[in-house]
Structure 1
Amino acid sequence: MSTVKSLAVLDESQLQDGQMKEVDFEDGGKVLLSRLGDNIHATSAFCTHYGAPLAKGVLTADGRVVCPWHGACFNVCTGDIEDAPAPSALHSFKTHVADGKIHVTANVQNTKKANLARQPKLLATGNDSSGLGVVIIGGGAGAFQAVESLREHGYSAPITILSKETYTPIDRTKLSKALITDPVKVELRNAADLKIKYGTNLRLGVEVTGVDLKNNLVIIDGGKDTLPYQKLVIATGGTPRRLPIENGGLENVYTFRGISDSQKVDAAAQEGKRVVVIGSSFISMELVTAISKRKLASIDVIGMEEVPFERVLGKEIGAALQKYHESQGIRFHMKSAIDKIVASEANPNVASGVAVNGRTLPADFVIMGVGVAPATEFLKGSGIDIERDGGIKVDQYLRVKSGPDTQNVFAIGDVAIYPQHSGDATRIEHWNVAGNHGRAVGSTISGKEQPFVKIPVFWSAQGQQLRYCGIGHGYDRVIVKGNPDELKFVAYYVKNDRVVAVASMQSDPVVSKASELLRLDLMPTPAEIEGGTDLLTVDIATSAALGKVQS
């Protein structure tokens, strides 16, 4: 039986305008108090993604609270999700002030950390497999967030997910960071919840081979089946690239994307084994971090740049991260071109090494982490224009811009070339971007058109948690505060005398604050940053800042 109580939790004088505080409720329960002008709001205290304390995040005057870890965002007035990767909304509680005390009225059970999330507003119980309604091609984060957003925004028609994966949408970021091999451990929602609570028809292990835009049909398994749609969301993600080099397709040369890839690498990365990793950016280096504790005989990394991560993070940060990994026994071969993968004399179907710079690095297995290509081959002949990189151009609402009757067709995630609010068209292969694309499309299809304006955010385990926000492609210079060699810094990426991206280690919640400042076009200038301005001191939370936040 639920127990509703109203308890005094804090002196009103202890919560100032623009402040958040985590307070005890009862029996170990926690509540987050947020003050916006004269209004005090109470919600669950922890992010529904991985349980970060929201009180350590960033509050804005229009009621957004951004998680300090991974950029998830909620509305403190309602508990609703604002941004992925939050999979669930927060509980929202009534508050009032009496005798100088802030009182919270809540079901005591809902304040427990184990019960911090609430169900979607629309608990759909129907499961119509006709396909009419929304059909989503793809089973990743974008697909899940689209479903969640559709139901949160009141969409009541059927939703169907068509996925070639054999499991429900998962937190794919955990695969390279922790080599998870069981999809159940990282699923965003299980099949029963998606079917019953979200009214979603799941069709797993099927391949979409075409789209008939004129007749609003999805073609499945080469024409063995078709599915009609009213709205179509293309969320097929990317396919790992393989370098066109000799023996690149041998049995123990692995790319990395899904659960089966994680299972292969996990099985191969055993004590005493040798691995060569091709590529020195995030997917490769996250795998290096994950397997470096396993007492392998050797881990060699081959990269084309001068230091790892150079294109994204710059030489100074890249050199510091390389130094850290070298301290863990990793050997780097930078500014290198691969001659070929060497086949074993005993078994020509498997690799025994990688030839680079006139020598052969021995390997029991090879990981090729050299990026992905948009999974759009199935759209050839549909009338949708596929760009040279494999992407699809969309408008600010993520509607496909080419082809017959594409007013009802959307593309999200790795396949979408979309206009950032800065005006530049871009395609970004971030798990978080895909999720937020899904959320925006869910709102638009439900009747509230939502242009995509979220600033890209990602994170990576590299000895410490690296956090990054913005679009730093082609930056002119980097302003570094702190000591990268100690993996404790904030780096500001400058282009045309504007800060366009920020990265940090051990400096939370600077990147969360930076993502909001970039979104609001309130980021301090490079000169102000060099002059000592601290992003955390820039006011976007008090009632005095409401005008510039809303504008």
Structure 2
Amino acid sequence: MGATKSKSVDLPALSSFEAKDNRLHNDRQRHRSKMKEEPETMFEKEVCLVTEMQDEEMREVEIKNRKVLLIKSNGEFSAIGHLCTHYGSPLVKGILSHGRVRCPRHGACFNIKTGDIEEYPCVDGLQSFKVEVQDGKVILSISARVLDLNKRTLDMVTRSPADKGVILLIGGGPASLVCAETLRQEGYKGRIILATKEMHFPYDRPKLSKQLDSQIENILLRKPEFYTMHGIEVLTNKEATSVNTRKRKVSFKDGTIQRYDNLLIATGSIPRMLDCPGAGLKNVCLLRTPEDANQINELAAGSNVVIIGTSFIGMEVAAFMAEKAKSVTVIGTSEVFEEQAVKFYMLDHVTELRGEDGLLKEIELAGGNVLPADICVVGIGVTPATDFLKGSRINTDSKGTIVVNEFMQTSVAKVFAAGDVTSFPLPLHKNQSVNIGHWQLAHRQGHVAAMNMQRKMIGIRTVPFFWTLCSGKSLRYAGYGAGYEEVIIQGTIDELKFVAFYIKEDKVVAVASLNYDPVVAQVAEVLALGKTISKSEAEDEDRPWLKNI
């Protein structure tokens, strides 16, 4: 489906969009009926003996040259897709715990019986397959129809013209997408409108800094036809300018107004710009959209690239550019990438950007150095995109983030918020309010908001999980380390293979690792179970805390 751009305040009960949606729904019903009538071909295979697998063991088995993850837990066997639906990591290397398996790299979790999502980031569950035990043998049965399928879109209802409800989602990131999908999974049949100021449907934003030449069609979280199939209206180039919570209406930059019954605000953040002479020169770039990434990629080839800021985005851009730019310089405090021919200026900052005919030519630093620069990428942090809420009754804190409770509810009834714009109570931090801009958290918060729009009263119970990959180096982080008192290191920092445990009040509050998988996922699982790791346990290289999983 193309981008939907409505000029009316309230669409008719049955719009052309909805009529098309109903036709698709009827076509799907006929297709399903036909499938039920046709005999289903099943493939069966004995994959092992019952005695060949230990309890709480996972292994990959093959049937018709396709891999499946076979699991034995509490004496019972189950089988699901073998690859995480996020980025395809092998789950056999993950963590099996209390009826679910956690991805070793990015923390997503799946139910070992159903394949359903139990933790994010991902939008699809896993296929589940029939397993039987006959005469001490484990028999795997798989339908020919799903033999090639690892992942599974969870069942959803679609739009019903009889339901006059309207849920409006502002923002085009994973929080809005997961909220919309969860609503349909939970049986909501009213209108769902996803309005984004971007020109694209929701996409995988973290990929932009890791692969600047990404094309939008390759990073979409869902294809356009998905939204049509499930009755989710997507309005692109649709920027909110104000919210009237008394009348339950949102005004947009194009002059339109949309009423709502429930509202989700998930507008994300805005990159900070430099505040110094020359900041407005051409070739001084921010990285926020696919168009930004593509422009940076084109300008950087064979050029002198200067990156301001040592955020993860800055480091990822530096790593990507190391082999294609003439030179790459980072103004910040880290030396991690020195071996990649990236020059660092530590404890320094920019005082002026100079150019000719409006184009950037060089950058002056406070320390006196003048750097040649054909392009400058600015990565000095972000601010929440909440200016449009001024004058509304929605409470924001001193930093502009929206204050929500554990149910992702704002200070106003029927208004929820999720993602980077929120400050929310984190159980790991004694339910103190925090603002964490993790991709995984945006998914989880979107899910929680949807559940509570449906009055499920589900709280935000999650362990923050972050990852990045630069120049082949895998960095993971889980927990919340603010106010940590000491760090315990295992491994070798010089060899860039170690794990760091952040300690506060004699227990682990966060963990980070470099090339040391799957320790971070293991710690995340312990914390997710509500258990703790003491300082003495963190110091013990035998990892006695693993017994808590």
Please give the TM-score of this superposition, normalised by the length of structure 2.
0.89
Q: In structure 1, what is the Cα distance between the partners aligned to 2:198 and 2:81?
A: 34
Q: Note closer, same or farther for the CA distance 1:128–1:195 as it changes in structure 2 (3 Å cut).
A: farther
1:39-81, Cα deviation, whole Å (9 max, x unpaired): 22211111111111111111112x1211112111111121111
Q: Which residue of 1 aligns with 2:424?
A: 418
1:180-212, Cα deviation, whole Å (9 max, x unpaired): 44211100001111221x220011111111111
- SS for the counterpart of 1:301 is strand
Q: Which residue of 2 aligns with 1:544?
A: none
Q: Note closer, same or farther for the CA distance 1:288–1:510 as it changes in structure 2 (3 Å cut).
A: same
Q: Note closer, same or farther for the CA distance 1:193–1:128 as it changes in structure 2 (3 Å cut).
A: farther
The reply on whether 1:30 has 2:67 as its aligned counterpart is yes
Q: In structure 2, what is the Cα distance between the partners aligned to 1:356 and 1:268?
A: 26
Q: Which residue of 2 aligns with 1:525?
A: 534
Superposition map of 1:99-178 within 5 A:
99-112=135-148, 115-124=149-158, 126=159, 132-178=165-211
User: Are the aligned partners of 1:181 and 1:266 in contact in 2 as well (CA < 8 Å)?
Assistant: no
Q: Which residue of 1 aligns with 2:13?
A: none
Among residues 271, 279, 302, which one is paired with 2:309 in the alignment? 279
The reply on whether 1:504 has 2:516 as its aligned counterpart is no
Q: In structure 2, what is the Cα distance between the partners aligned to 1:5 and 1:135?
A: 45
Q: Note closer, same or farther for the CA distance 1:243–1:438 as it changes in structure 2 (3 Å cut).
A: same
User: Are the aligned partners of 1:477 and 1:495 in contact in 2 as well (CA < 8 Å)?
Assistant: yes
User: Are the aligned partners of 1:31 and 1:111 in contact in 2 as well (CA < 8 Å)?
Assistant: no
Among residues 378, 393, 397, which one is paired with 1:383 in the alignment? 393
User: Are the aligned partners of 2:177 and 2:446 in contact in 1 as well (CA < 8 Å)?
Assistant: yes
User: Are the aligned partners of 1:131 and 1:228 in contact in 2 as well (CA < 8 Å)?
Assistant: no
Deviation for aligned residue 1:414: 0.6
- SS for the counterpart of 2:526 is helix
Flag structure 1 segments of 5+ consecutive residues without an equivalent: 309-321, 541-551
The reply on whether 1:96 has 2:132 as its aligned counterpart is yes
Among residues 281, 284, 288, which one is paired with 1:253 in the alignment? 284
Q: In structure 1, what is the Cα distance between the partners aligned to 2:441 and 2:403?
A: 16
User: Are the aligned partners of 1:510 and 1:535 in contact in 2 as well (CA < 8 Å)?
Assistant: no
Deviation for aligned residue 1:255: 1.3
User: Are the aligned partners of 2:157 and 2:189 in contact in 1 as well (CA < 8 Å)?
Assistant: no
Q: Which residue of 1 aligns with 2:294?
A: 263
User: Are the aligned partners of 1:130 and 1:227 in contact in 2 as well (CA < 8 Å)?
Assistant: no
Among residues 223, 246, 250, which one is paired with 1:214 in the alignment? 246
Q: In structure 2, what is the Cα distance between the partners aligned to 1:332 and 1:22?
A: 45
Deviation for aligned residue 1:539: 4.4
Superposition map of 1:297-336 within 5 A:
297-303=326-332, 307-308=333-334, 322-323=335-336, 325-336=337-348
Deviation for aligned residue 1:96: 1.6
Q: Which residue of 2 aligns with 1:392?
A: 402
Deviation for aligned residue 1:394: 0.2
Q: Which residue of 2 aligns with 1:234?
A: 265
Q: Which residue of 2 aligns with 1:243?
A: 274
The reply on whether 1:66 has 2:78 as its aligned counterpart is no
Q: Percent identity?
A: 36
After the TM superposition, which of the residue ranges 169-178 and 238-247 deviates more from structure 2?
238-247
Equivalenced residues, count? 508
Q: In structure 2, what is the Cα distance between the partners aligned to 1:206 and 1:281?
A: 29
For 1:452, give the aligned amino acid.
Answer: I
- SS for the counterpart of 2:235 is strand
User: Are the aligned partners of 2:360 and 2:373 in contact in 1 as well (CA < 8 Å)?
Assistant: no
Q: Which residue of 2 aligns with 1:318?
A: none
User: Are the aligned partners of 2:160 and 2:189 in contact in 1 as well (CA < 8 Å)?
Assistant: no
Q: Note closer, same or farther for the CA distance 1:131–1:367 as it changes in structure 2 (3 Å cut).
A: farther
Deviation for aligned residue 1:349: 4.8
Q: Which residue of 1 aligns with 2:502?
A: 493
Deviation for aligned residue 1:444: 2.4
User: Are the aligned partners of 2:163 and 2:190 in contact in 1 as well (CA < 8 Å)?
Assistant: no
- SS for the counterpart of 1:185 is helix
User: Are the aligned partners of 2:196 and 2:235 in contact in 1 as well (CA < 8 Å)?
Assistant: yes
Task: Determine which structure has greater relative contact order: mean sequence separation of CA pairs < 8 Å that are 6+ residues apart, divided by chain length.
Answer: 1
Q: In structure 2, what is the Cα distance between the partners aligned to 1:243 and 1:69?
A: 34
User: Are the aligned partners of 1:479 and 1:491 in contact in 2 as well (CA < 8 Å)?
Assistant: yes
Q: Which residue of 1 aligns with 2:468?
A: 460
User: Are the aligned partners of 2:44 and 2:141 in contact in 1 as well (CA < 8 Å)?
Assistant: yes
Q: Which residue of 1 aligns with 2:231?
A: 199
For 1:104, give the aligned amino acid.
Answer: L
Q: Note closer, same or farther for the CA distance 1:187–1:357 as it changes in structure 2 (3 Å cut).
A: same
For 1:208, give the aligned amino acid.
Answer: A
Q: In structure 2, what is the Cα distance between the partners aligned to 1:490 and 1:265?
A: 33
Q: In structure 1, what is the Cα distance between the partners aligned to 2:84 and 2:131?
A: 20
Q: Which residue of 2 aligns with 1:182?
A: 215
Deviation for aligned residue 1:347: 1.4
